[in-house]
Structure 1
Amino acid sequence: MSTQDISRTKAWLMAARPQTLPAAAAPILVGVGLALHDGVFAALPALAAFVGAALIQVGTNFANDYYDAVQGADTEDREGFTRVTAGGLIDPAEVKRAMYLTFAAAVLSGTYLVYVGGVPILVVGLLSVVSGIAYTGGPYPLGYHGLGDVFVFLFFGVVAVTGTYYVQAASVLAAPLTVGIPAGTLPFDAFVASLAVAAISTNILVVNNVRDKEEDATTGKRTLAVRFGYAFSRIEYAAMLALAYLVPVWFLAREGFGVAVLLPLVTLPYALSIARTVFTETGGGALNPALERTGKLLAMHAVLFGFGLAFGGFF
């Protein structure tokens, strides 16, 4: 299908990239699972956390589409999915406006979470929005200087999972509009659980960067794949997978968790089949499906891990 045949509605969906929403849902599932285990589950804060995370994800997608185009990072040689700004499907000013409106909606939806979680959530929320823009925009785009992996690991993994747990626990254990971090609202278990989501979320970016390595090198986008080569990125992918599957084992060794926390291990054969592609391919024909499959792996791992955490004390 040529770009002329794509409807405006289809173009906006392409810009929003709903297929990336597992990256927003996964940390919520894990944060909710651990909160259920610890007896601090709260439905409304968890739902609000998902809405905020989804809006930040979509806003970041709009930002990537817009800034990659205006900075010349998207060329005709791109092997990834069609970008609407570079492809001329939507006027750049409209994509930029959509980006700001989506981030504004995220801030608005986060007002309830600020009421529940206080100053810590206000700080984290604003940093998440700023970082979403700074990923490909601003004077020092993170993704252009090899910091994209760190950004994804922290904000779509560690911050998202621990933040989801925190707002639930704070709604149960603390008074509204707290200034500090109340006792019991941010346990070490939440941080460790976040590492599994952080690792697979980062691998989505690793596949993207391996696929785009040659184009990124010509347009000045210095991702880790460009800086250190294919071998480094493949080792990174393997290391992130290892981390994702070691985290459930760590929980099994913890008192109060049963074998159910090992449920994510049933996805290991699927993960290894994706890794085989990442280790042997460089073109979009093979890596575009691998990118989608890594997103599916994230969703499956998070569902099973969240379930295992929630009910790991029973079996």
Structure 2
Amino acid sequence: MATLAQWIAGSRPRTLPAAVAPVVVGTAAAAAIDKSDLALAVIALVVAVSLQIGVNYANDYSDGVRGTDEERVGPVRLVGQRLADPENVKLMAFGWFGVGALAGLALVALAQTWILVPLGALAILAAWRYTGGDNPYGYRGLGEVYVFVFFGLMAVLGTQLTQAGETTLVGLLGAIACGALTSAILVANNLRDIPTDRQSGKHTLAVRLGDRGTRTLYLGLVGVAVLCTLLMAIWHHWAPISLIGLVILAPGIKAVVGGATGRALIPALATTGMGLLAWSLLLFFPLARG
């Protein structure tokens, strides 16, 4: 039986910045037009964090029962390392999806943004189908698309919509930047796992692009985030100050550019996640001040 510490490690806490950052950016975009709402932001944060933890447990379950986690490096794999019963991990995943769904219903009811209900249901379905089901799209190289759409565009613009009742071009730029950096986390993860994924038949985008192409994609995604941030300066002159937060990415970029493999790429995951969070927090203030 897995210990509490192992269950917590299995939730992959290092990925949580990918859930927090879009809520911060969406709230900042709402504050930029004087329509932010702290209470709704907190509920949106519960939704985002719950779905992130849920998808992490779902991936642990699905990859574990398929045997693709047998030779992994990196975080704890509850099923792949036979630390927990697969059905309990699956139950944990759907438990967190349930928390996210209930919080999401409360959010749209308070904000009267009912259009987000089917989109939220689609997000949960997509979270499960990433590595679950008969034909998971994560095994077909589409994981980064899911991350960009749901943890970038939908999370940021959905947060802004629930608070402001509208979306803006600045919000869209923030959503694109957030989605790009969040996708970069997954790219770094899949870069590390190319050898084991190729061996197990998991055709991620990294496997399809190969080592060199994946490293180029990582740098390109970071570049997209930088460009979007610079474009925000058209409306908010101090927005580029948030790029200071991306300095945290330096060790990760060095690892990716320097050809690091295996465990040596783990810092790229951590620094990209923390850089994303730092960027979002530093972006909040120039946007919120109008």
The TM-score, its normalising length taken from structure 2, stands at 0.95
Residue 263 of structure 1 is matched in structure 2 by 241
Q: Distance in 2 between matches of 1:266 and 1:197?
A: 15
CA contact (8 A) 1:31 1:306 kept: no
Q: Distance in 2 between matches of 1:277 and 1:99?
A: 32
CA contact (8 A) 1:261 1:308 kept: yes
Residue 249 of structure 1 is matched in structure 2 by 230
Relative to structure 2, which stretch is displaced further, 98-107 or 265-274? 265-274
SS of 2:115's equivalent? helix
Residue 101 of structure 1 is matched in structure 2 by 95
Aligned residues: 289
Among 62, 68, 78, which residue is 2:72 paired with?
78
CA contact (8 A) 1:22 1:299 kept: yes
Among 169, 185, 189, which residue is 1:188 paired with?
169
Among 267, 288, 304, which residue is 2:282 paired with?
304
Q: Distance in 1 between matches of 2:288 and 2:217?
A: 30
The 3 A distance-change label for structure 1 pair 98 and 273 is closer
Residue 31 of structure 1 is matched in structure 2 by 26
Output aligned runs, 1:23-172, within 5 Å.
Answer: 23-75=18-70, 77-115=71-109, 116-170=111-165
Cα RMSD for the two superposed structures: 1.5
Relative to structure 2, which stretch is displaced further, 61-70 or 302-311? 302-311
The TM-score, its normalising length taken from structure 1, stands at 0.88
Q: Distance in 1 between matches of 2:163 and 2:245?
A: 28
Which whole-Å deviations, capped at 9, do the CAs of 1:106-147 have from their partners, x for residues lacking one?
111112122124331101211111111011101221211000
Q: Distance in 2 between matches of 1:197 and 1:190?
A: 10
CA shift, 1:189, in A, is 2.3
CA contact (8 A) 1:144 1:223 kept: yes
CA contact (8 A) 1:113 1:121 kept: no
Q: Distance in 2 between matches of 1:272 and 1:241?
A: 11
Higher Cα Rg, which structure: 1
1:220 matched to 2:201? The reply is: yes
Residue 238 of structure 1 is matched in structure 2 by 219
CA shift, 1:19, in A, is 2.1
The 3 A distance-change label for structure 1 pair 232 and 20 is same
Sequence identity (%): 36
Residue 178 of structure 1 is matched in structure 2 by none
Structure 1: unaligned runs, 5 residues or longer: 171-184
